[in-house]
Structure 1
Amino acid sequence: MDPAREATPPPVMIEALLLRHDAAHGFAYRSRTTPLERHTNPDRTARRLAGLVDDDDRHLVHSTSWRATEDGHIVLTYLVHPDPDPAQPAHPLADPHGIARGSRPAHPAPAALALEHVAAHAVRHLAFLGRTDPTITAYLADRPHTQQALSTLPPLPAGQFQEVVLASSAREA
């Protein structure tokens, strides 16, 4: 392997998931991605991707996750709400409850991770913040339809599971 390549960090990509919600259709999202330029703030890059200016306080911009891609990139995902251009086509989020997870304890990444999984994780993350972060709670208070939809999700940190007693565990007790 080339030693110079090993010394070069993997390229970081910034992904903005532009989220919208309406009572009739539920959540929908679209995604925009760009490389993070050297000496550039990732938050500012996410705002730029969404078409927002730095002092825009009408939109929520929050980092929700990261992932590694097969081509060697690190993708830092930001949720942007509401979608600044709702006339653009978006993907419906069929199941914000769906969780992608690895199948083995030492391999946490799921075998197949789709953008819908990333979007569902971001929505659950927002639901958690809406209950725990005063800034996000105040932001959502002005958006009652979104706040109501988020209230249907479990009040857990994104990625945390509720305790479930498995049938085999119950028999052992």
Structure 2
Amino acid sequence: MEPYTMPLAPLEALDAPPVAVEVVLLRHDPAEGFTYRQLATTLRRGMRPDQAARSLALLGEGDDTHVVHSTSWRTTRQGGITLTYLVHPDPAPGRPGIPLPEPHVIAYASRPGHPTPQGLEMGHVVAHAVRHLAFLEGSDPAIATHPELVRSLRSLPATTAGEIPYA
């Protein structure tokens, strides 16, 4: 017996939810810790999310001096989707940043089968993004080629995303 697969409609025929692209511009000071700025835009028809993230950060297409990494997505209360990208280093380090509190707070869902944590705040999203990159630091060559970022990530406690012990 063949397994049943639902036929997919062409993407153009679907009433797609709105998609936002959010960029976390990250910086790290050994004495002060991590700070960030957040920028967001609605994804325009025909624009790729990576392109929108680079545009928000004011990075040219050939700019490889910055890490641009997709770290997560989440739904909005209105049924849309937000794609989060982390950019390091912040292309405008002189602009005010928001301190990322230490220790980084990890947001957890309260019930199995309901993955969105209650009370999710931007600090949770940024902490997840930073720990996501820390988890990839040893295996992702795009991150490994940025020594300043690697030093910053190695300043974190040993527990990174994917290595959190269960209570």
TM-score (norm 1): 0.82
Cα deviation per residue 1:18-58 (whole Å; 9 max; x = unaligned)? 00111121100010000101111111110000011111011
Runs of 4 or more consecutive aligned structure 1 residues displaced over 6 Å after TM superposition: none
In proportion to residue count, which structure has more helix? 1
Q: Report the AA paired with residue 37 of structure 1.
A: R
The question of whether the paired residues in 1 share the 8 Å contact of 2:71 and 2:132 is answered with yes
| 1:88 aligns to 2:95 (yes or no) | yes
Structure 1 counterpart of 2:78? 71
Q: 1:163 aligns with which of 150, 157, 165?
A: 165
Structure 1 counterpart of 2:11? none
What is the CA–CA distance in structure 2 between the aligned matches of 1:57 and 1:149, rounded to whole Å?
Answer: 19
Structure 1 counterpart of 2:27? 20
Gaps of 5+ in 1: 1-6, 167-173
The question of whether the paired residues in 2 share the 8 Å contact of 1:67 and 1:75 is answered with yes
Q: 1:125 aligns with which of 132, 142, 153?
A: 132
SS of equivalent to 2:90: coil
- 1:155 deviates by 5.8
TM-score (norm 2): 0.85
The question of whether the paired residues in 1 share the 8 Å contact of 2:21 and 2:83 is answered with yes
Taking a change above 3 Å as real, the CA distance of residues 100 and 121 of structure 1, as seen in their structure-2 partners, is: same
Percent identical: 51
SS of equivalent to 2:74: strand
Aligned alpha-carbon RMSD (Å): 1.6
Structure 1 counterpart of 2:64? 57
Q: 1:116 aligns with which of 112, 118, 123?
A: 123
- 1:64 deviates by 0.2
| 1:148 aligns to 2:151 (yes or no) | yes
What is the CA–CA distance in structure 1 between the aligned matches of 2:69 and 2:113, rounded to whole Å?
Answer: 28
Gaps of 5+ in 2: 1-13
The question of whether the paired residues in 1 share the 8 Å contact of 2:67 and 2:142 is answered with no
- 1:123 deviates by 0.4
Q: How many residues are treated as equivalent by the alignment?
A: 153
Q: Report the AA paired with residue 118 of structure 1.
A: V
